[in-house]
Copies of this chain bind each other. A is one copy, B any other.
Amino acid sequence: MTALSALGLREPIAQGELRALEVAEACLRNDPGALAAWAFRDADFLRAQARGLDSHRAAGQALGPLHGIAVAVQDTIDTLDMPTARGSGLDTARRPEEDATLVGRLRQAGALLAGKSVTAEYGFPGSCSARNPLDPARIAGVAGGGAAAAVAGGEAQLALVSDGAGAVLADASYCGLVAYRPSPGRLSTRGVFALDRAIEGPAVLARDVADAALLAEVLQGFDPQDPATRRVAPEPLLRIACAEPPLAPLFAFAKTSLWDRCAAATREGLSELAEVLSEVPGGLCDEVDLPEVFDNAPVAQRRLLAVGAARALGSKLDRAPEAFSEEVSAAIAEGRGLSALDYLSANDWREVLRAGLEPIFARYDVVLTPAALGEAPLRESAPPPDGAAWNGGLLWSFCGLPAVCLPLLSGEAGLPVGVQLVARRGADAQLLRTAHWLCARVDAIMSEEVLPTGEGRTA
């Protein structure tokens, strides 16, 4: 059962063939220390939620769209009835007085809150203690590592995380999952810890694209307490994601400055995928070059993160310097030293670079690009704090573009490697549809079977 997707569980639960308590027990089956995925998990509390949901169903009441589905919530996201320590030893006693808006929506949808997944210190894209379910000698990810381990290890079907710099794409890549980081403003950020709300935001992890779309559809929408969300009709993400595109999508293959550091298998796999797509009748993929100016993104992103850290954590550091890692202390010090003009200029880069991508999105539906360098690193060689060196999601999340990671490739050790698709801001539904399309056809494409006639575009 733990191998089933959320959508795969939904029907048996609705039919009464499977109880929420059975889902909860399956999630609790692993020894909690095996993956070390949780900052907080209480088996009794999980069972109590499940019993409540089963009674609700037994009473004949309407079921929410996530009824009985277990969702891991990253420990940077506030929960009323579970501590929220944000990966810091300083905040272990922190008990929020309110749920984050997104957590409230999970409850309303009938989800089981599986626990608080372990994260890096204040969600920094640094190291995280969770083990990779596919190989415990390897990391599961960075800030979203606990969430990725929980989903990949069958301790939850879905995860809600907060993502600082697109690194959730790497988390998904390392664990063979789908990550979806929405356009800014689609998911409420109230009660979600962030150093800089402009560059950080909520994201989801799931086993496949349909599950990611399902979770995002439940979570999305206007929140009067988050001015970045808008009063617009929510899109039916799941239905659109699973629909056939009117035309086969067009891909712009961007190697980016990460390319030379990627593992050989990653380069070969991505190149082959791009090549086969380009050879489909009509030609669905072209390689595009990003100008050098895009190399400014990591520096600008780092500055915004440093200023955000100084603002959010500076006074905590002054009170308890021993509670902070060297990395976070250094970021705070850096942020304190930056001028207002440095800050504004870093922010300006976001818009400049995003505008620079417009010509690509005018021609192509999505950018195809690495999500990570390769397979999950071994625990003793965890990713360096400088995300520019390994984080395929950084550039695109800095520009505020929606992105997905799809587990389509594998590396030298046979472990998964994800590919990343990126769309224009706001084009989330089309991005998910393209992702679903690609996943459904990738085997046929990679075995170089030609796509059905008429599906390719004519030039």
Q: Is A307 an interface residue (CB 8 A)?
A: yes
Candidates B231, B337, B340; contact of A307 at CB < 8 Å? B340
Q: Ordered nearest first, which 4 A-B pairs have the shortest CB separation?
A: A340-B343, A307-B340, A338-B340, A340-B340
Are B230 and A307 in contact, with the CB atoms below 8 A? Answer: no
Q: Is A310 an interface residue (CB 8 A)?
A: yes
In the bound complex, residues from chain B placing their C-beta under 8 Å from that of A311 are 341, 344-345
User: Within A379-413, which residues are at the interface with B (CB < 8 Å)?
Assistant: none
> Shortest Cβ distance from A62 into chain B, in angstroms?
32
Candidates B335, B337, B340, B342; contact of A342 at CB < 8 Å? B340
Q: Is A377 an interface residue (CB 8 A)?
A: no
This chain's copy number in the assembly: 2
Name the interface size band of chain A: 10 to 19
Q: Is A314 an interface residue (CB 8 A)?
A: yes
Q: Is A51 an interface residue (CB 8 A)?
A: no
How far does the alpha carbon of A314 sit from the alpha carbon of B345 in the complex, in Å?
13
Task: Return the CB mask of A333-352 against B: 1 if under 8 Å, else 0.
Answer: 00111111111110000000
**Which residue on chain B has the smallest CB distance to residue A310?**
B341
**Which residue on chain B has the smallest CB distance to residue A337?**
B339
How far does the alpha carbon of A310 sit from the alpha carbon of B310 in the complex, in Å?
22
Are A341 and B230 in contact, with the CB atoms below 8 A? Answer: no
> Shortest Cβ distance from A299 into chain B, in angstroms?
15
Are B307 and A344 in contact, with the CB atoms below 8 A? Answer: yes
User: Within A220-244, which residues are at the interface with B (CB < 8 Å)?
Assistant: 230-232
Can you list 25 A-B contacts with CB-CB less than 8 angstroms, sorted by A residue number?
A230-B230, A231-B232, A307-B340, A307-B341, A307-B344, A310-B340, A310-B341, A311-B341, A311-B344, A311-B345, A314-B341, A335-B340, A335-B341, A336-B339, A336-B341, A337-B339, A338-B339, A338-B340, A339-B339, A339-B340, A340-B340, A340-B342, A340-B343, A343-B343, A343-B344
User: Within A401-456, which residues are at the interface with B (CB < 8 Å)?
Assistant: none
**Which residue on chain B has the smallest CB distance to residue A425?**
B227
In the bound complex, residues from chain B placing their C-beta under 8 Å from that of A340 are 307, 310, 335, 338-340, 342-343
> Shortest Cβ distance from A336 into chain B, in angstroms?
6
**Which residue on chain B has the smallest CB distance to residue A196?**
B344
How far does the alpha carbon of A311 sit from the alpha carbon of B230 in the complex, in Å?
30
How far does the alpha carbon of A344 sit from the alpha carbon of B340 in the complex, in Å?
8
In the bound complex, residues from chain B placing their C-beta under 8 Å from that of A336 are 339, 341
In the bound complex, residues from chain B placing their C-beta under 8 Å from that of A341 are 307, 310-311, 314, 335-336
How far does the alpha carbon of A338 sit from the alpha carbon of B424 in the complex, in Å?
35
How far does the alpha carbon of A311 sit from the alpha carbon of B231 in the complex, in Å?
33
In the bound complex, residues from chain B placing their C-beta under 8 Å from that of A345 are 311
> Shortest Cβ distance from A85 into chain B, in angstroms?
25
> Shortest Cβ distance from A58 into chain B, in angstroms?
44
**Which residue on chain B has the smallest CB distance to residue A314?**
B341
> Shortest Cβ distance from A308 into chain B, in angstroms?
9
> Shortest Cβ distance from A200 into chain B, in angstroms?
15
- Other A-B contacts than A310-B341, A336-B341, 10 sampled, CB-CB below 8 A, are A307-B340, A307-B341, A311-B344, A314-B341, A335-B341, A336-B339, A339-B339, A340-B343, A343-B343, A343-B344
